[in-house]
């Protein structure tokens, strides 16, 4: 079945050829043998639709496949749908979470990995020792030693999970790699209290930590004590190779050669790594004659031929000595002897060519690297992003950011990250006007817990505004705030102005709210336009919420302009409410506009609102300037609102003054009410 799926595109024709019913063994074996992860997922779904009840094992295999393919969102969705899709027959297990936690970490998504660990606990799935070992490894690889101690304490005291030898190997390696060898030794001594016997990996890890700390003599004593302390436990080729590396790091290559003889005397054959380690050490101290001797010994005694690492070491040695022509010869000889090249082969040459200023040749090798997709291969050493930094910088400065990004994306797929390269590429895209591409990289950068330079945000925002894309400018500003940067006041105002220009009512209101929250100075014209836009779009409640907050924070808007705007568009209730707000805040009002609004409210039978506004105007002594009282009185009488009508009647001018003010009065006859 797997052969059939692998050989054809997924289609209805293919599905019709697949046999049913399916057995558990068939499904599990087929899932393991399908080469394309997307086809594996299609088969998985098809099997369920065909009536096959997926088991815990089939779900686990599918999660592993998706994790290896970096299809992590789909994997996460599948994980949290297991109980529902299986009708409760398959419960969430720690191993489901374990595989996804590791996959997130391998993809460089450190935060998501830890978040999943917390989610696991919140859904009542108890972490196992395997879970804790994975989380500890992830934390220590990121240098989070304090968090690792907290998780270890949680493991022992909260969940009562007993550590195993693997736990201690992870802890010892992690603390040693973080230059905390003493802590590593503390965990080494603690192993006995949990009945965990150290193995050769434990010792090799400690030896490596000591050698990295320059304590090679202590490391050698530890190696000599291995057999005495643990019966049947003897140093292996890794142990001695680590010691040789330690001596080479201290440039004590003669001692390293003594260790080589010692291991041969104990019947432990050096491997290719041993020879390459020694060759690297000899290259670094420029003992090329002894290096040739080791190459001969390697060939005669072990039957080894120089491999990729050997060539890379020699190339690196020549580059460091400034012998670039010799390095290029060795590089070309790799092709001649059909020795496979890896990332280090190219990165060493590219970096050295850039340092010399030969960017043309460096770019030729760069293109070759891209074409062969060497960075995507798991062969050889893991690529270092910093090694390609000089050429990526050069390409971005010369309008070739797209090419540079291709390499960056290949590095990302290998889990290699570098914050400064993100900054370089984003700036490159901005200079070329490709702001969307820069923004996409910014999102990737933030997801991987890198802090962008503040200039990155300024360039992107400026670019989006220039391209009339204020929504993207606003999103960038929000990310800028999350990065704990404070945008300039002019940046806020520029984004708000463009949002208003594009008619983005909701978003412009959001910007004003953020500005008030961050205590950013308001622009009276922009705030006024934002209110008008909200009213135009029917968002009255939001408009009144905004103006209330603006005034509470000590700022103002041109209220009269907003009221005139509302009046002209027939939004009389809103205009009335805005006038009342203005009076409450002791703002001057246009009495003619007040009269007009009261008259028009009466015409549409909103007498209650008209009276309320009139009452407030009378209360502040503007009764004599109101020309609408007769009309309001008539409307109140018609509506049977006697008390309000009496209030208005008392404030009407006497009959003897009627002729004098005739020009300002309504054309209706004055009809006083008898009290």
The pLDDT score that the predictor gives to residue 651 is: 80
Query: Which residue has better confidence, 623 or 581?
Result: 581
Is the distance from CB of 554 to CB of 524 less than 8 angstroms?
A: no
The pLDDT score that the predictor gives to residue 293 is: 81
The pLDDT score that the predictor gives to residue 473 is: 97
Question: H or E segment at 514?
Answer: helix 505-517
What sign has the CA pseudo-torsion 61, 67, 70, 71? Answer: positive
Q: What is the DSSP string of 317-369?
A: HHHHTT-HHHHHHHHHHHHHTTPPP-HHHHHHHHHHHHHHT-HHHHHHHHHHH
User: Per-domain residue ranges for the chain?
Assistant: 488-557, 575-650
Confidence of residue 516 (pLDDT cuts 50, 70, 90): very high
Mean pLDDT of 314-326: 87
The pLDDT score that the predictor gives to residue 487 is: 95
The pLDDT score that the predictor gives to residue 662 is: 39
The pLDDT score that the predictor gives to residue 614 is: 92
Choose the most confident range, by mean pLDDT, from 264-268, 332-336, 555-559. Answer: 555-559
- Phi and psi at residue 156, in whole multiples of 5°? -75, -50
* Rounded distance between C-alpha atoms, residue 270 and residue 184, angstroms: 28
* Rounded distance between C-alpha atoms, residue 345 and residue 308, angstroms: 8
Choose the most confident range, by mean pLDDT, from 327-331, 339-343, 597-601. Answer: 597-601
The pLDDT score that the predictor gives to residue 208 is: 93
Out of 114-118, 132-136, 381-385, least confident range: 381-385
Mean pLDDT of 356-373: 91
Confidence of residue 296 (pLDDT cuts 50, 70, 90): confident
The pLDDT score that the predictor gives to residue 363 is: 92
The pLDDT score that the predictor gives to residue 622 is: 87
Confidence of residue 78 (pLDDT cuts 50, 70, 90): very high
The pLDDT score that the predictor gives to residue 661 is: 42
Choose the most confident range, by mean pLDDT, from 259-263, 408-412, 535-539, 618-622. Answer: 535-539
pLDDT digits (tens, 9 = 90+) for 182-203: 999 899 989 989 988 888 999 9
Confidence of residue 410 (pLDDT cuts 50, 70, 90): confident
DSSP label of 627: S
pLDDT exceeds 60 at position 655? no
The pLDDT score that the predictor gives to residue 668 is: 38
Average pLDDT across the chain, whole number:
89
Contacts by residues 466-473 (CB-CB < 8 Å, ≥ 24 positions apart): 467/433, 467/435, 468/498, 468/502, 469/435, 470/495, 470/498, 470/499, 470/501, 470/502, 470/504, 470/507, 471/499, 471/502, 471/504, 471/507, 472/435, 472/436, 472/439, 473/498
pLDDT digits (tens, 9 = 90+) for 421-433: 999 999 999 999 9
pLDDT exceeds 70 at position 666? no
* % of the chain with per-residue pLDDT over 70: 96
pLDDT exceeds 50 at position 642? yes
The pLDDT score that the predictor gives to residue 657 is: 42
Mean pLDDT of 226-234: 78
Is the distance from CB of 343 to CB of 380 less than 8 angstroms?
A: yes
pLDDT digits (tens, 9 = 90+) for 124-135: 899 999 999 999
Total-model pTM: 0.59
Confidence of residue 658 (pLDDT cuts 50, 70, 90): very low
The pLDDT score that the predictor gives to residue 107 is: 87
The pLDDT score that the predictor gives to residue 302 is: 66
pLDDT exceeds 60 at position 492? yes
3-state SS of 26-81 is HHHHHHHHCCCHHHHHHHHHHHHHCCCCCCHHHHHHHHHHHHHCCCHHHHHHHHCC
The pLDDT score that the predictor gives to residue 675 is: 25
Mean pLDDT of 269-287: 87
Confidence of residue 653 (pLDDT cuts 50, 70, 90): low
pLDDT digits (tens, 9 = 90+) for 49-66: 888 999 999 999 999 999
What sign has the CA pseudo-torsion 309, 311, 316, 317? Answer: positive
Is the distance from CB of 429 to CB of 437 less than 8 angstroms?
A: yes
pLDDT exceeds 80 at position 284? yes
Confidence of residue 403 (pLDDT cuts 50, 70, 90): very high
pLDDT exceeds 50 at position 366? yes
Question: H or E segment at 527?
Answer: helix 524-536
pLDDT exceeds 80 at position 381? no
The pLDDT score that the predictor gives to residue 175 is: 94
Mean pLDDT of 253-261: 90
- SS percent in the chain: helix, strand, coil, step 5: 70, 0, 30
Mean pLDDT of 472-491: 96
The pLDDT score that the predictor gives to residue 320 is: 86
The pLDDT score that the predictor gives to residue 422 is: 92
Choose the most confident range, by mean pLDDT, from 256-270, 433-447, 624-638. Answer: 433-447
């Amino acid at each position: 079945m797997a052969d059939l799926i692998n050989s054809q595109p997924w289609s209805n024709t293919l599905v019709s050829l697949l046999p049913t019913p399916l057995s558990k063994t068939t499904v599990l074996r087929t899932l393991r043998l399908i080469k394309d992860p997307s086809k594996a997922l299609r088969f998985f779904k098809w099997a369920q639709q065909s009536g096959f009840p997926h088991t815990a094992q089939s779900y686990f295999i599918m999660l592993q496949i998706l994790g290896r393919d970096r299809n992590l969102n789909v994997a996460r969705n599948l994980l949290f749908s297991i109980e529902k899709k299986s009708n409760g027959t398959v419960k969430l297990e720690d191993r489901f979470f374990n595989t996804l936690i590791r996959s997130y970490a391998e993809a460089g998504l450190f935060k998501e990995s830890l978040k999943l660990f917390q989610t696991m606990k919140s859904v009542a799935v108890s972490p196992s020792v395997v879970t804790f070992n994975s989380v500890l490894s992830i934390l220590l690889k990121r240098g989070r030693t304090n968090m690792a101690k907290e998780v270890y304490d949680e493991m022992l005291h909260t969940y009562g999970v007993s550590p195993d030898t693997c736990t201690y190997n992870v802890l010892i390696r992690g603390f040693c790699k973080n230059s905390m060898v003493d802590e590593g030794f503390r965990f080494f001594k603690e192993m006995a209290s949990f009945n965990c016997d150290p193995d050769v990996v434990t010792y090799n890890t400690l030896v490596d930590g000591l050698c990295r700390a320059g304590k090679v003599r202590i490391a050698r004593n530890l190696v000599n004590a291995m057999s005495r302390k643990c019966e049947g436990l003897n140093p292996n080729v890794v142990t001695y190779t680590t010691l040789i590396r330690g001596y080479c790091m201290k440039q004590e290559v003669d001692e390293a050669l003594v260790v080589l003889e010692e291991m041969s005397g104990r019947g432990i054959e050096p491997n290719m790594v041993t020879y390459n380690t020694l060759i690297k050490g000899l290259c670094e101290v420029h003992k090329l004659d002894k290096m040739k001797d080791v190459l001969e010994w390697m060939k005669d005694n072990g039957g080894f031929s120089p491999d990729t690492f050997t060539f890379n070491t020699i190339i690196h040695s020549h580059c460091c000595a400034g012998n670039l022509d010799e390095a290029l010869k060795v590089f070309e000889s790799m092709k001649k002897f059909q020795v496979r090249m890896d990332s280090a082969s190219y990165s060493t040459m590219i970096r050295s060519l850039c340092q010399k200023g030969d960017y043309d040749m460096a770019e030729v090798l760069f293109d070759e690297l891209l074409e062969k997709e060497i960075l995507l291969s798991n062969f050889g050493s893991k690529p270092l992003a910093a090694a390609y930094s000089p050429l990526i910088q050069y390409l971005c400065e010369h309008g070739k950011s797209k090419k540079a990004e291709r390499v960056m994306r290949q590095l990302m797929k290998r889990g290699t990250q570098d914050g400064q390269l993100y900054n370089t590429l984003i700036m490159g895209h901005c200079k070329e006007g490709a702001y969307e591409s820069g923004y996409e990289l910014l999102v990737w950068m933030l997801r991987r817990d890198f802090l962008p330079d503040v200039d990155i945000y300024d360039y992107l925002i400026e670019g989006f505004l220039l391209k009339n894309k204020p929504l993207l400018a606003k999103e960038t500003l929000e990310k800028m705030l999350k990065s704990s940067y404070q945008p300039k006041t002019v940046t806020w105002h520029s984004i708000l102005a463009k949002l208003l220009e594009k008619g983005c009512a909701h978003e412009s209101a959001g910007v004003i709210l953020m500005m008030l929250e961050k205590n950013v100075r308001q622009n009276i014209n922009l705030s006024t336009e934002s209110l008008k836009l909200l009213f135009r779009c029917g968002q009255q409640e939001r408009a009144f919420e905004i103006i209330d907050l603006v005034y509470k924070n000590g700022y103002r808007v041109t209220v009269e302009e907003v009221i005139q705007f509302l009046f002209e568009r027939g939004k009389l209730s809103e205009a009335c409410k805005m006038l009342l707000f203005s009076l409450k805040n002791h703002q001057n009002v246009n009495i003619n506009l007040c009269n007009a609004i009261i008259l028009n409210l009466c015409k549409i039978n909103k007498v209650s609102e008209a009276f309320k506004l009139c009452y407030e105007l009378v209360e502040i002594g503007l009764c004599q300037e109101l020309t609408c009282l007769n009309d309001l009185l008539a409307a109140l009488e018609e509506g049977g609102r006697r008390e309000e009508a009496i209030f208005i009647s008392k404030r009407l001018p006497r009959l003897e003054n009627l002729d004098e003010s005739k020009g300002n009065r309504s054309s209706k006859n004055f009809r006083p009410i008898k009290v």
